Structure 1
């Protein structure tokens, strides 16, 4: 995936390969600007000019159907309309931009249900109210007649989540779905997501900075740096024994104990993320890596290699230690 800037193509996502499985949650983590949201939006073909997906494949296998090659669909293809909001749903990071300011919440929910589920209007309204209730909106029937500016930030966030879940998608792309919510409401939202997974086998791509959510909710983790996956595998293994220096640095910078964290300085990752159009040679993390080996890490790009069952790693030194 690339973006056109100053007359040249700037690569934003490079060689990323992810596999979503029914009933499981894959968390995509990394610093801001590493390409997480761009990867997530590409699943629904929502990358707008000057950006474009310039290679690769996005394959979706709906239950009981043939594989759909998402990138091969034209903008007028019926499968693309069926995919967006139906087979695949997206929880946008910014709810205010995802809700229409001139339509009521109920109108937007019922329109979504009508397009994808094709049920009577009365049943659509009842289903919308039920979903809002599950997500903890107070007096959900009354909220149906309100506009987005009449809702609090947390209510808007849950309204966007309701719009994504109400048609029972087979794949959910959740881009920072709970940032506007307190701890109690975050737990309630993830409870609803787990229920949808158990009932309908929904696969979830969770884009997040919240490592507490990753530890509790994710089955698998993919760590992204500068548009590439540097480590991937089962969540318990990566959270407890991170192998890539970048993954270790990310986890070390998370306060594990808030009372103690308030009295000490948290570790930070040295240096800065390189500019998109000026990536370093070799491993893209080597200028910030405490374990970088001159002549190796600054000259060759490490491939993403399988180091154990279900686990992949892109680091010369870490792979050597894993095989030692």
Structure 2
């Protein structure tokens, strides 16, 4: 691998190293998700069906799930099934786990992706605007208001924020639906609950990074030339913020995956978040295993994509330092 990468240039080496890291991480994730059922104390089938379940029924479900076979055979069956897109069957519903995930995944994507776009489209411009308006010690009151408001919002747990939005916009002033996946208005509260805290956190960090960039000599020279604000901030300042913004954006998008679990349960959203909580409650470990595998794979792929995007934005320092 190293010899091949060396012969195909720095980009090939960078992508090869990242691909190897991704493959190793996926291997660890698959192994951990397989071991989940076997690390749970007791019999997962008995736990799911209850202590009064007929022993014959328990034995039949164990046989159907392959849990009565030796561990190496179970691992091989899991890996071969995974290669064919099969994740086993749910203990409680006896439906294929892959089918359940396929049915629920779109609902999660429909709020996670818009929330991420809202974070980037609000956080970056807001942080840049706050830096421009308060640079060189200007507008002290505006700086205090910005840091106070964003600090207050950023300190609110997402679960508590979601409950507050429900109380305000669905109970006190009933203008938006509180639960289920209906028309366009039903998307507003879940997306706001997911995006509000990360957006203000991103804005605070972007403000600090923008202030550093605005203090660079080349920005001072461009400002002395009386360049239009559009050229000064979008052409000269923004490109130098892309690396840190993309890196933080990827981390925030990864955190949205975990955030959907809480938010979906507050708003009774029929996505993977509510699915995994129900599966844990019902002790449906094959379903928990499948959802965890999907969440983990999504996080690893997002990290890989962010690494590549950062390398495209700043190829010299990123590829050389990788």
TM over 0.5: no
**Higher relative contact order by CA 8 Å / sep ≥ 6: 1 or 2?**
2
TM-score (norm 2): 0.22
Instruction: Mark the structure with the bigger radius of gyration.
Output: 2
Q: Comparing both structures, which one devotes a greater share of its residues to strand? A: 1
TM-score (norm 1): 0.22
